[in-house]
Structure 1
Amino acid sequence: MSYNLTYKQFNERSILIEWPKTIDEDILNDVLQFKAKIKALEMFEITVIKHAYQSLLIQFKNNITDVESLITTLKSIYQSQTEIISFQNKIWKIPVCYDPFFGIDLANLANKKGLSIETVIEKHSQVTYKVYFIGFLPGFLYLGGLDNALETPRKATPRLQIEKGSVAIGGNQTGIYPSNSPGGWNIIGQTPINFFNVNKSEPCFARAGDGIKFIPVSKKEFLDIKTLVEHDVYIIESEVIND
């Protein structure tokens, strides 16, 4: 499937390519395929190429001197019948403790939605979420797939400090804060897993196209896993979803 893309100069060294503005797995796959095609051809001196839900930003080493010609080339690459690139994606199973000690907004969110706390936890943990991209903070995963029944507006006044590992809902998204930071999402639990580690060859273990499955654990299990994580001996359970 191909889409009617919009190409425009973003600044003197960058081109922005945009897809239809909707969160959709087919669009994500198309974005990733186009990104991979561009990188594989090695036709350009590119310093940065990154994507979001429905866009691809390409930053070149030098100033763009002929925008129209460059866009024509990019269009040709997109429409080319290059062999579809295969990605090996995984589903990562992430332990989350939904205890009120960690899920400080869980009861309030459940009350607003007219649901029991148990139902909120069930609905949140029964979905396999899709990683669309990583941004905002290093290791912050933008996930798609939240149950519509759990959609909750961000807080009018963000907190100045949210604890690392907090699992939260903001609008129609859910996510995990990979480090201590300000934030306005509704916190419903916490994971002991590190989502960004500068000492690793791949600082963030997950990548776009992967799946995230939240596994409810008790407070004791949380603390046990946290100890293993701190000693760098915890292995996140995962499974390959395609070759």
Structure 2
Amino acid sequence: MNRNKQIIPRVMVMNEQTIRFDFGPEMSQEIFRTIQQFCQVVENDRNHLLEEVVPSNKTVTVFYHKELVNPRATIEKLLTKWVHRTDSEFCVNRRAIEIPVCYDTLFSEDIPRICDHTGLTREEVIAIHTGTSYKVYMIGFLPGFPYLGELPEVLHVPRLEKPRLSVPQGTVGIGGTQTGIYPIESPGGWNIIGRTPLDLYCLKRVEPFLIRAGDQLQFRSISLETFNEMKEELAREPEMIMQFVKE
């Protein structure tokens, strides 16, 4: 018997074409596994009306191409399949992605603030950040922005009281209980600790988005010289970024 079978989501009809299934109230690895399985149940029931299935850290939103004639019937059908699912139905592909990060002082202006808050040295902050494997709980806020957990508790530092108006593309930051990567330049209030030469979102690639929900990420420290070399190489050959992904 599936041990998550008792987790039944709250259901909200958002509009004529959208239904949201809420597995809250808190983010956890158990809830995340449940959400991955629920997405697969929905995908296995795919028909011509289904447009997109979008998971977050606590919800699954299902979009349809046109107005549903009978939303209640659609919900009951999906929940029935969910309740009666079996473990043999699921085959979740987990990818491991290595993210090279330059923690040079040029790219890590908030590490001194983090050191003051935690009592750690710069070297310890970097070692802890790179020594942890992170799960991608959801993609959001910006195209391709990954919300990662679990950030070690010793690095839990409040976000900036006043967000910056502009955070450069590729910036790696931490805020509260999570760490993340800015895929494009944008405002932001996370503590800046480094920068990656990888483009998480690039329309020139066959797969524009590098990272997916469910991926496992590991940060690796690189020098400023290596950062510049990688940046130039990936600008010439965008598809080379896939060398950092292990299926």
TM-score (norm 2): 0.91
Gaps of at least 5 residues in structure 2 are: none
Instruction: Give aligned-pair identity as a percent.
Output: 32
Aligned to 1:60: 64
Render the CA deviation track for 1:188-229: whole Å, top value 9, x for unaligned. Answer: 000001101112221112211111100011111111211211
1:141 matches 2:167:
no
- Per the TM alignment, residue 164 of structure 1 is displaced from its structure 2 partner at its CA by 0.6
- Per the TM alignment, residue 43 of structure 1 is displaced from its structure 2 partner at its CA by 3.9
The correspondence for 2:246, drawn from 225, 239, 243, is 239
Aligned to 2:21: 17
Write out aligned runs for 1:158-237 (5 A): 158-232=163-237, 234-235=240-241, 236-237=243-244
- 1:103 maps to amino acid: S
- 1:224 maps to amino acid: E
- Per the TM alignment, residue 115 of structure 1 is displaced from its structure 2 partner at its CA by 1.1
- Per the TM alignment, residue 12 of structure 1 is displaced from its structure 2 partner at its CA by 2.7
Render the CA deviation track for 1:20-65: whole Å, top value 9, x for unaligned. Answer: 3222222222212211221222246122320100101112223334
Render the CA deviation track for 1:53-82: whole Å, top value 9, x for unaligned. Answer: 010111222333433322211211211235
> The residue matched to 1:198 in structure 2 has which SS?
coil
- 1:21 maps to amino acid: P
1:89 matches 2:94:
yes
- Counterpart CA distance in 2 for 1:37 and 1:226 is 40
Render the CA deviation track for 1:107-166: whole Å, top value 9, x for unaligned. Answer: 111111111111111111101100112111111111111011111111111111111110
Aligned to 2:118: 113
- Counterpart CA distance in 1 for 2:134 and 2:71 is 37
Structure 1 window deviating more from structure 2 (58-67 vs 118-127): it is: 58-67
1:157 matches 2:166:
no
- Counterpart CA distance in 1 for 2:205 and 2:62 is 26
The correspondence for 1:29, drawn from 30, 33, 38, is 33
- Counterpart CA distance in 2 for 1:44 and 1:29 is 27
Post-superposition, which runs of at least 4 consecutive aligned residues in structure 1 deviate over 4 A? none
> The residue matched to 2:52 in structure 1 has which SS?
strand
> The residue matched to 1:15 in structure 2 has which SS?
strand
After superposition, the CA RMSD in angstroms is 1.7
Gaps of at least 5 residues in structure 1 are: none
How many residues in Structure 1 have an aligned counterpart in Structure 2?
240
1:132 matches 2:171:
no
> The residue matched to 2:73 in structure 1 has which SS?
helix
Q: Is the 8 A contact 1:160 1:182 kept in 2?
A: yes
The correspondence for 1:76, drawn from 80, 102, 106, is 80
TM-score (norm 1): 0.92
Q: Is the 8 A contact 1:23 1:144 kept in 2?
A: no
- 2:75 maps to amino acid: I
- 2:151 maps to amino acid: L
Structure 1 window deviating more from structure 2 (35-44 vs 111-120): it is: 35-44
